[in-house]
Amino acid sequence: MRIVAQPSHVPALPTTLRAPDLPEPCDDARRHSDRLNETIRREIDSADGWIGFARFMELALYAPGLGYYVAGTAKLGGDGDFVTAPEISPLFGRTLAGQIAELLERTGGDVLELGAGSGTMAADALDELQNVNRLPRRYLILETSPQFMERQQRTLQERHPALKDRIDWISALPENFEGVVIANEVLDALPVHLVAWRHDGLYERGVCWKNGLVWSERPLRPGTLRSAAEAIGAEADYVSEISLVAPALVRSLSAALRNGALLLIDYGFGRREYYHPQRSQGTLMCHYRHRAHDDPFFLPGLQDLTAHVDFTAVAEAGIDAGLKLLGYTTQAQFLINSGITQLLEQQPADATTSRFALTAGVQKLLSPAEMGELFKVIALGRSIDGPLIGFASGDKSRLL
């Protein structure tokens, strides 16, 4: 599962921690990682020996043909590195569809899903939207990974052949969008900067090459990142992430949204909790074959890198771009408000999905010890009035 109850720790300078007890990759996979390492090394050389962590993370996850999300292994599911909510229970996507249906009732238009993974959430949501007779005009998917796109096409072709004409993949955000944008666990996969608040000032953590990838800190230059770090004002010694990319994505989505809402689901907190004095090593986390560890330099290209989401930054980006904060709550509260328990009761238990398995899946989504509390749902909208079912009880005050 792509969650951990406690955030992990960025290794201390200057050593590179080698994650112990991780399974060995096969020769092909190791060669693949070596090629990506070589690309990163060349980029470090041509940047006078240092790149910021955000650039390293971008290359590790998205370098053309080599990055974790654009090449390589299974990633999602039992054979992969992590499992997400739609893979845990079909009731996740179906419950989310209840909120989508309510929004579509007011906005009409399309659904746009970002980073749709295996396509399971899309297929489950479409099942339910069909059940309640509220199919969107089109179900669009914007996916950066060619491998995931292929998988989504297979899933949706198998499960919804009759909706073929409504489902489409797009390669860039539409200029004018009307409807509902959804994204589950996409914001946490976007590159983050690492900042160190030290006794003698602010530093950006980055990466050098000394017989391999090693950490290196540089004084933080004036600019957007430094202003954000100064505003956070953590007490030394403190290391954490600042995401400039996630708010930028929200700004782009806001600019595209004429009428409708963004529903974003991910693990994270509001800013006060995110930069809590006790979370002094940040939330950066690596996932490799269902093991979570804290060494981002371990086999680049073969493991996922992720950081929790600062939902205050997400809300502020939307509000600054003219959207209204419609709701913010925990995943558990959102799913309960949206009727997951009623859906569970209505579910016929068949041979392949026993009631026990369905209940266990829902339990994982809702349990405070698993995904229920750490994961949050935020809704931002334009021209949407009135309360939304998913946030009927929920608390926005922890956010701004």
Between the CA of residue 200 and those of 52, 69, 235, 236, 237, what are the distances in Å?
20, 38, 11, 9, 10
Region of 116-124, 195-203, 235-243, 387-395 interacting with ligand SAM (CB under 6 A): 116-124
Give whichever of 264 and 344 is closer to ligand SAM, judged by the CB atom: 264
Terminal Cα distance for the chain, rounded: 29
Compose the 48-87 pattern: x for residues touching ligand SAM by CB under 6 A, - for all others.
---------------------x------x-------x-x-
Amino acid present at 285: M
Tokens of 277: 């004095």
Give whichever of 186 and 284 is closer to ligand SAM, judged by the CB atom: 186
- Does 153 help bind ligand SAM (rule: CB under 6 A)? no
- Rounded Cα gap, residues 121 and 353, in angstroms: 17
- Rounded Cα gap, residues 63 and 169, in angstroms: 21
Give whichever of 47 and 248 is closer to ligand SAM, judged by the CB atom: 248
Residue from the set 102, 128, 143, 204 that interacts with ligand SAM by CB under 6 A = 143
3-state SS assignment for residue 251: helix
- Residue 40 neighbours by CB distance under 10 Å: 23
Least distance to ligand SAM from the beta carbon of 77, Å? 9
282 dihedral zone (left: phi>0; alpha: psi -120 to 50; beta):
left
In order, the DSSP letters of 7-25 are: ---PPPSS--PPPTTPPPP
Least distance to ligand SAM from the beta carbon of 265, Å? 8
Give whichever of 121 and 163 is closer to ligand SAM, judged by the CB atom: 121
Residue from the set 10, 57, 167, 189 that interacts with ligand SAM by CB under 6 A = 189
- Does 362 help bind ligand SAM (rule: CB under 6 A)? no
Compose the 205-224 pattern: x for residues touching ligand SAM by CB under 6 A, - for all others.
--------------------
Question: Where along the sequence are the contacts to ligand SAM (CB under 6 A)?
Answer: 69, 76, 84, 86, 114-117, 121, 142-145, 148, 184-186, 189
